[in-house]
Amino acid sequence: MLDQYDQQFKGIGKDSPFQDSPVVPSMLEGDKTIQFRCHRDVKCWNACCSNIDITLTPYDVLRLKNRLGISSGEFLKQYTFPYEMDKDGMPGVKFNPIEGGSACQFMVPEGCSVYEDRPNACRYYPIALLSLRNSDEYVDRTAYALVQEKHCLGHQENRFLTIDDYRSEQGVADYDEKSRGWRQLVLKRKSAGPGIGRPPAASNQLFFMACYDLDRFRAFVISESFNNTYDIPVEQMAELVADDEKLLEFAFTFLRHVLFNEKSLVEKDGAYEARMERLKTKAEAIRQEYLSNRDKIEDEKYCAPPGQPGDCGCGGNDERQ
């Protein structure tokens, strides 16, 4: 039952900097009955799409970039902007509204121009999906909350159904399943607490590429350096090259392997040693560059520029009799 966890939300609105938060701070189960209907004749039609704040899941990006027939990089550049999901810089992406406004770029008078491939957050509205995990838990818990915004008149419609029925109607089950690996990664990072520290920039860049920039991740997976490190069966590699959904699933496995040291992938013999050797070589090059720059700075500190009087014998210190 969710009752034992509902206490986590007690008083959540009281201390919020946004006193009029539309999210009802109660955890609901799937059999909870709600009152809601959205249709073109409702007076608030398109209001929710006129002022957006939509976080995209990796599967959202996959569906939309394929719908538009463009690469993941092109989609991210044209339709999204990056943001940090937590204080440690965990990268996420949100929909970029129209230039100079707050409306969704895909909003048209008839509604959503990409309705069949609309993001999971849009499908769920007015339900919020909650995924929770405490630091001492190994399995995430799923619950729901009700979003009631003042402009939304759908809550006044004479229609009642359970959250489970609404989810089925909106086709979120497949989206939830395809995004489960990403949600687990997010929860794993958040539940690790402050002890894990802020990840290095390279880790966040890798997270971003694997989760959102799928076409660039594919190029990484088929690269020589990747295949010199990981032992991926030929049949699986063929799937990763041809199937975006398989590649996304693999991306989550890869991130668990490299970010959390879960032994999810098989590394080739000597790959670890070769990687350590490359890191040592790189570290030594950085050290030598630092020493060279340090010596140069020390020399410049005491030596006058050429042609000016100085006291270290490096130019122009004539002694007149």
The DSSP code sequence of 188-250 is: HHHHT-GGG-PPPHHHHHHHHHHHT-HHHHHHHHTSHHHHHHB---HHHHHHHHH-HHHHHHH
Q: 44 and 153 in contact (C-beta within 8 Å)?
A: yes
State whether the Cα torsion 284-287-291-296 is positive or negative.
positive
Number of Cβ within 10 Å of residue 167's Cβ equals 20
Please, what is the angle between helix 172-191 and helix 201-211, to 10°? 170
Mean pLDDT on 5-16 = 42
Residue 221 domain flag: no
**pLDDT for residue 35:** 97
Instruction: Please state the pTM of the whole predicted model.
Output: 0.77
Q: Is the pLDDT of residue 43 over 50?
A: yes
Tell me the residue range of the domain where 115 lies: 3-191
Is the pLDDT higher at 153 or at 306?
153
**pLDDT confidence band for 25 (50 / 70 / 90):** low
Residue found by looking up tokens 């419609």 in the block: 157
Residue 248 domain flag: no
Residue 170 one-letter amino acid = Q
Instruction: State the DSSP code for 233.
Output: -
CA separation for the pair 117, 1 (Å, rounded): 33
CA separation for the pair 176, 174 (Å, rounded): 5
Residues 6+ apart with CB under 8 A from 158: 35, 37
- 300: its two tokens: 């410049």
Residues 6+ apart with CB under 8 A from 7: none
**pLDDT for residue 298:** 63
Helix (H) or strand (E) segment spanning residue 160 = strand 160-162
Q: Is the pLDDT of residue 135 over 60?
A: no
Tally of helices (H runs) and strands (E runs) in the chain:
12, 9
Residue 235 domain flag: no
Helix (H) or strand (E) segment spanning residue 184 = helix 172-191
Residue 22 domain flag: yes
Q: 31 and 161 in contact (C-beta within 8 Å)?
A: no
**pLDDT for residue 279:** 61
- State pLDDT tens for residues 176-227: 999 999 999 998 887 765 555 667 888 999 999 999 999 999 999 999 989 9
Q: Report the chain's mean pLDDT, rounded to a whole number.
A: 83
Q: How far is CA 12 from CA 130, 190, 220, in A?
A: 15, 19, 43
Residue 58 domain flag: yes
Residue 44 domain flag: yes
Residue 197 domain flag: no
CA separation for the pair 153, 140 (Å, rounded): 33
- List the single range of 150-159, 190-199, 241-250 with lowest mean pLDDT: 190-199
CA separation for the pair 33, 165 (Å, rounded): 9
Number of domains the chain is built from: 1
Residue 159 domain flag: yes
